[in-house]
Structure formats: C-alpha cells, structure tokens
Structure 1
Amino acid sequence: MSSTKPLPAALKRWAEQRIGPVVSVRDASHSWDRSRVWDLEGGSGVHRYLKVSPSVKFFTRESRAYRHIVPALGHTRAPHLIDSRAQDLVLLLTAVPRAPVKELALDTAQWRTVHQQAGALCARLHEAGELDRGDRVKAEASLSAAADGAEKYLARAGDRLDHDEQQLVRDHAARLRRVGPVPVGYIHGNNQPRNWLWSTSGLALVDFERSRPAAHVQDFVILATTQWADHPDREKAFLLSYGRELSDAERHALRCLSALDAVNCLAWGPDNGDAEVTARGRRTLDRLMKEDRP
C-alpha cells in the first residue's frame, strides 16, 4: 500500500453511534486507490470493519448481499452487516477472526482442505434463495453480457495484445454467446484466495461487492486461471464438496470466460500497477494461444 488512508471523522462518529467508542483505527485497504477499508477496535478489544464502497453499484450489490444472500453461508462463515448508510456508500461489518489464505504458507493437504471448504461455501451461496423474475433475467443474460465487454477490454488493452491474440478473444466472445443454458443463481463475483479467510475454525468468505445474479460458472474463472491451472487436485477437492461436476456447457463457457478475463487483466493490471493481475492475464492468454494454435 503506497499511503495510509485516514478514516474521515464523520464516518468514525457514525460508527461510534452504533458500536460505541473506537480506541484505535487501522487502514486495512487493498493497494488499489479506490479501496477504502478500516479496522476499528473497540474498548473491549472487539474489532469491526468500516468499508466505503468505490461506487453506488458496488455498494448496492454488497449491502444487498449481506442482507439477503450471505446469511446462507452460516453464522461464522462471513462477516455480518451491522449497519449501512447509502449517502456515504458505507458499510459497518463484524470481523471474522481468521487470516487471509493468500498470506498463509499452506502445504498440499491444507490447500486441498481449503478448496474443499470453499466449494461447500460456494454451493451454499449459489443456492441462496430463488431468483426473482428480474434477477433471473439478468442471470440468464450474464454470459452474453460478459461477451459484450470484449471490445471494451480490447480497446483499453490496446497494443498489449497482438492481432492474433485480439482475434482469439473475439472468437471466444462469439463462442460464449452460443454456449446455451447453464445453471444460474447468486455468485460471489470475486471468488479467490484473496477473499478467503482461514483458521482452525474453518473457511470464511469476505468482500461481496461483486455479488450478483449470474451464471454459476462465472464464480470459477479466477480459480481456473490461477489455482486450478497448476493444481488439478484443488479443483477436484472444490468440485467434490460443491456437489457436482461442471457440465460440458459450463466447461466451454469457462474457457471463453477465461479469455475475456485475460484481456480484462491486461487492460486493468498495467493501468493500476497490479503486476499479479497483469501476469494472470498474460499467462492465461499465452496458454489459450498455445492450445488454439499449437
């Protein structure tokens, strides 16, 4: 993180009206500029988190998720919403006493256990209530909507992709439109170890600002292009507890979505100084190019 972000005094006062005196504040934001999260410690040593969403869309998604979707995960498997204030895009959340999986030195067996629990939590989230009519329409259109983003990502990435790579992305976007029906529901939207917290009590999920109605398979893209690419045992453990294998249509969609994720990474990563995201995009694109044009 390049600089510490101070908690605005007005937001601290708002939080204290709900949780009592705050004795210490720690900036817990991610490194990107629009991330604004603070760890608030109360007088009794209890921690809560205050988050200012980067946009109205993310605030709406996350506040809705905490109220209507996240409870399906179970009491200890995610933070709980204490309160929110739409005019400031702010959410006040309980803390989950676990460490980010990404920061832990896990062995092979522990990684499998983490993925097994992640699969079970993901299944609960995906089945968290019936979609209403409007959400079902959005979910069933989500793959086409993803394909619609291809040209925008390509324009932003510019010459970071050569002509053949650009054509590969366009080809996969076209194929994604022809995938056909796949299971839909509510998804996490940023399902990866950065948003998994682990302890001996088990796994918990955080960061629901991208939660939305969509094709279930969209929750597996980052895992497929990172964790599962080199560790098929982790994918096997995840899907075993998820409760089913992916259908042929989902496998096809996952490949197409991976191509779109790659160009998105190559558009966003360099512009935001995120070497990890950039590397993910380049690695995925190189793999797809090799497989499509050996």
Structure 2
Amino acid sequence: MRYRYVGPAGLRDQPPPPVTGPDPDEASTYVIDLDGRLRLAPRRSEHVALAGGRDVLAAGEITIVDGRVTEVSNQSTGYCPDPDCWPAVARALDRLGLAHPGGFTTAIVFRRCPDCGERNIVRDGDFICALCDAELPQRWNFDPLAPLSDRQRELLDAWFPGAEVVHDHSWGVAATTVLELAYDNRHLIVKAGGETDHHIARELHAHRNWLRPWTTRNRAPRLLHGDDQAKLLATTYLPGSLALDHEAEPSFYRQAGELLALLHAQTATVDADFERRENEKNLLLLNGPHRIDAATVRRLRDLITGWPTPPVTLVPTHGDWQPRNWLIHDDTVSIIDFGRAAMRPAWTDFNRLTVQDFSTRPDLEEAFLLGYGPDPRAADGSYRSHVREAIGTACWAFAHGQEAFEAQGLRMLAGLR
C-alpha cells in the first residue's frame, strides 16, 4: 500500500533536508520511497520534505548502529502509515544488508476521526477520538484510495477523472475496498479487490450474466465498468439504508422472496459432482484452524463421510442472502453485494435466513415464501447444506477474528440434530 501526505499543507512546500547516513547517537527520519529505497535525514526533518512531497511506502524513525537496526517505528504524523507497512521497510533494509528486528520496535496505530477529522494515535486498543470522543474505525482510514494498486488507480482515473471519494463503505475484514464516489453530479460505487480477493470475479460474473431481472426493475446496481485482471468494478449507486437498520417488516421479506425467485429462475443445470466437492471442502475446513470442540468435529466427520452424493440441480444464487445485503428505500427492497454469487442449489440461499430470521419470526418466513413460491428446502440436500453453512461460518469467522459470527456458527452446530 502507498501512503499520501495527510499533514499540514504548508509543510509540503519545505525544501528537502540534506540526505544523510545513519546517526548512531539518535534516531533518523526515514521514508521508503515508491521505488522501495530507504531515504534518511536528520531526526527533526519533515517526512514529506524528505519524500519530495510524493507518496511513500512507509515512513517513521530509525536508529542504525554498526550496520544493525536497533530501533525502528512508523512514527510519522505527516503520513500516518499503518503498522502493516513493515514489509516495505524490511525489503529496503534487506536490500542494504542491514540486520533488523523483524518488525517495528514501536508500532503506532493512527486513525482519523470520521466526525471531527482529528488525527489520532490509538493507545491501549482504545479506538476513541481524543478530541470529540467519537468511535474510531478499526481499519486505517486516512486515504481511502491507499489500498488500491497502481493499475486500479489508473483505471479509476480513466473511468472517472477528478472523482471525489465521499464515503468508505469497506467492511475491513475481506480484502475488498468499497468506495462511494461523487462524479459528474452523481454518486457511484467502486469495488477494488486486494491480492487475495476472489470476490470481484464472482461479482463481475453476476453483473454480466444474472442481474438483468433486477437491474431492469432498478432493484440492483448496474455495472458501469469492470476489469477482471485488475479486480476492479464500478456500478451505479442505489439510495437507501440496510434492512438491518429497519424494523423487520413482512412486506420487506415478501419482496426479498420475489427478487430471489427471479434470480433462481433464470437458468438451471444438473451437477453430478457438486455434493462430493462440498463434502471435501468441509472436511478440509475441519482439518484447519477453528474452535469447534473435538467431539463435535469427530461427529461431523462421521456425518459428512456417510452422506450420499446424488446429482443436484444448480441455479444462480446470491450466496449471502440476508438483510445486511438488502437496501430499503421508500419501502422498496433492492439488492447489493454479489461477491459470493455462484451456481448452487436454490436452498442454499435460505440457510442464513432460516437460522437468523425465521427461527423466531415465522411470519417473516411465511411472507418470504409468499413472494418466493414453493419451498426448495424440502429437498434432501437442504440439511447437508445447513451443516456446511454452520461449519463454514464457524471456521471463516475464527480465521477473520469475527467473534459474533463465530458464535453464530457454533450455535448452529450445537443445534444440529
């Protein structure tokens, strides 16, 4: 990730300081430039002046004694780099043959307050603004474009020259940046995938192949631009707020059922190998890191290895069908977030609603089925899908530090018959 200067504007115009060698008696100011080179200056030098006003890969203070780094930090209130910039520092030091401690000896967590704009240093894990007491985001937030690759930025500039970022909607867990832009008197949504992202490709496929029944009704965003290789897409902006922020009304669930039926009805194919692949995937999850107790793991392995693997009918599915991906505007439901869209059995889109919503509100289930039609959960594979959903939720949430989701997955497993 690259970091742009976020400090006082007047400091950007200072003349560059003399570039020096390391001072063994005190720390030096350093930056890692975009070519990955270490640049040093006397400690009281401004980082932005040392960088010539340009973006950097890292910045902070460093002490080098006899060819060894004894102290190094990301202390730069001009760039406010995240501790995640350490790999860029390590590469620069390795290139010079300088021994180093393998990480920052002092790692500083910077956050910008979304309410008052104050730059904060987070201490003792207390994500509260020191000036106005507002809650600070868990994700580094000084430059919403920072996570984008050079190629993604080039495409964004070509698609929407001069566009302004007005809001960062990124969740902060998946390797996907979600930004709301203002451009040409309208708002747009841009999604950019990181190196490990595999959701953008699914989302692009869904936009190009499956969303027309919704976009023609203005019930889903329309794709404006997309680049599979760069993992970047741009769509229209839909007004509204998440259904999670509204009272759970049966009318919303009826509409959600109607929309899901439109998605599922577009095409279908029979897959003779789907069940086997899903079984293998879940056995691998159980072999990986999680907090499912040993007795439950043994029971699940016995259960999965004994399941039949019949052919199943696959349809286009959303993959995360629940109120957090429904927008409400003027009492109308629209759909967002297609990063998990894929061909699956229809009943898989019922899994999360069954556990989270229908278990305590049968009226919502009745309304949903009124909109959707015949219940696909009557099929034999629905129970197997429910078990897989529980395993996947518990394992994924543990891996990403999402304790609430992990607890939900563990409750689902505890409730299996």
* TM-score interval, smaller chain: 0.7 to 0.9
When residues 217 and 172 of structure 1 are mapped into structure 2, their CA distance, relative to the original with a 3 A threshold, is farther
| Correspondence for 1:194 | 324
| Correspondence for 1:71 | 212
Report if aligned partners of 1:47, 1:94 keep a CA contact under 8 Å in 2: yes
Q: Structure 2-normalised TM-score? A: 0.60
Query: In the TM superposition, what is the alpha-carbon distance from 1:191 to its structure 2 partner?
Result: 1.1
Query: In the TM superposition, what is the alpha-carbon distance from 1:277 to its structure 2 partner?
Result: 1.2
Give the one of 263, 267, 277 matched to 2:405.
Answer: 277
Q: RMSD value over aligned CA atoms?
A: 2.4
Report if aligned partners of 1:118, 1:203 keep a CA contact under 8 Å in 2: yes
When residues 187 and 10 of structure 1 are mapped into structure 2, their CA distance, relative to the original with a 3 A threshold, is same
Query: In the TM superposition, what is the alpha-carbon distance from 1:34 to its structure 2 partner?
Result: 1.1
When residues 86 and 282 of structure 1 are mapped into structure 2, their CA distance, relative to the original with a 3 A threshold, is same
Give the one of 134, 138, 149 matched to 1:2.
Answer: 138
Query: In the TM superposition, what is the alpha-carbon distance from 1:11 to its structure 2 partner?
Result: 3.8
| Correspondence for 1:147 | 279
| Correspondence for 1:84 | 226
- Does 1:125 pair with 2:255? no
Give the secondary structure class of the aligned counterpart of 1:88: coil
| Correspondence for 1:114 | 252
1:178-217 aligned at under 5 Å gives the runs 178=309, 180=310, 182-217=312-347
Q: What is the CA–CA distance in structure 2 between the aligned matches of 1:283 and 1:186, rounded to whole Å? A: 28
When residues 198 and 177 of structure 1 are mapped into structure 2, their CA distance, relative to the original with a 3 A threshold, is farther
Query: In the TM superposition, what is the alpha-carbon distance from 1:117 to its structure 2 partner?
Result: 0.8
Report if aligned partners of 2:347, 2:377 keep a CA contact under 8 Å in 1: no
Query: In the TM superposition, what is the alpha-carbon distance from 1:213 to its structure 2 partner?
Result: 1.4
| Correspondence for 1:50 | 190
Q: What is the CA–CA distance in structure 2 between the aligned matches of 1:127 and 1:197, rounded to whole Å? A: 22
- Does 1:248 pair with 2:378? yes
Q: Which amino acid aligns with 1:167?
A: R
Structure 1: any 5+ residue segments left out of the alignment?
none
| Correspondence for 1:97 | 239
Query: In the TM superposition, what is the alpha-carbon distance from 1:27 to its structure 2 partner?
Result: 1.4
Q: Which amino acid aligns with 1:248?
A: A
Greater length-normalized contact order (CA 8 Å, ≥ 6 residues apart)? 1
- Does 1:18 pair with 2:159? yes
Whichever of the two has the greater Rg, that structure is: 2
139-148 or 59-68: bigger deviation: 139-148
Instruction: Quote the sequence identity (%).
Output: 25
Q: What is the CA–CA distance in structure 2 between the aligned matches of 1:52 and 1:200, rounded to whole Å? A: 29
| Correspondence for 1:264 | 392
Give the secondary structure class of the aligned counterpart of 1:59: helix
Structure 2: any 5+ residue segments left out of the alignment?
1-136
Query: In the TM superposition, what is the alpha-carbon distance from 1:59 to its structure 2 partner?
Result: 2.6
201-210 or 24-33: bigger deviation: 24-33
